[in-house]
Amino acid sequence: MIAQLYQQYDINPLAGCLPSLAQIPIFIALYRSILNLSKDNVLTEPFLWLPSLEGPTYGAEQKDALQWLTTWQDGAPMLGWHDTLCFLTIPVILVLSQKISQKVLQSDAQQPEGASAAILNILPFMIGWVSLNVPSGLGIY
């Protein structure tokens, strides 16, 4: 029944998924390459306002990726206030841009309800959380 409706109105239910699915292998390859480069200490040059594309994790194992934010020495973050604030701008920018794009792209008639609304509200913060745990080069992507 639904397949007939799709065919009658010439709708492809996977049309919205294909661009997202096409990005997954690219993101995985980028993730692995930047992670490996950061472990080899290759990404040490500054980029825009960031002290390096390797930071803030600086080649740390995944279980230790948040130590740059949770470890404090003498009342200051491990990386110092300047570097920590520079690296924290990426998750903040990601969360804000995701929330703004959600508001712009959703019309009043298309307001999600229930579980889909909860997922859409949580997703920007999950993206921000992931960007805290990986080298800043991935957060920029």
pLDDT digit string (tens) for 36-80?
776 776 666 777 877 777 777 666 666 766 777 777 788 777 777
Q: What is the mean pLDDT of residues 88-116?
A: 78
Asked if pLDDT for residue 109 goes beyond 60, the answer is: no
78: tokens are 């491990």
Which is more confident, 117 or 86? 86
Across the chain, what does the average pLDDT equal? Answer: 75
Query: What is the predicted pLDDT for the residue at 17?
Result: 65
Positive or negative torsion for Cα 68, 69, 75, 76: positive
76 Cα distance to chain centroid: 26
- Give Cβ neighbours of residue 83 (< 8 Å, ≥ 6 apart): 51, 55, 56, 77
Query: What is the predicted pLDDT for the residue at 48?
Result: 80
Q: What is the mean pLDDT of residues 2-21?
A: 71
Domain count, the chain: 1
Query: What is the predicted pLDDT for the residue at 60?
Result: 63
Positive or negative torsion for Cα 7, 116, 122, 106: positive
Query: What is the predicted pLDDT for the residue at 111?
Result: 67
Backbone angles phi, psi at 88, to 5 degrees: -75, -15
Q: Which of 16-25, 28-37, 80-89, 95-104 has the lowest mean pLDDT?
A: 16-25
Give the global pTM: 0.62
Query: What is the predicted pLDDT for the residue at 65?
Result: 66
Enumerate helices (H) and strands (E) in the chain, giving the number of each: 6, 2
Full residue range of the structural domain in which residue 122 is found: 2-140
Q: How far apart are CA 81 and CA 125, in angstroms?
A: 23
Q: How far apart are CA 48 and CA 43, in angstroms?
A: 13
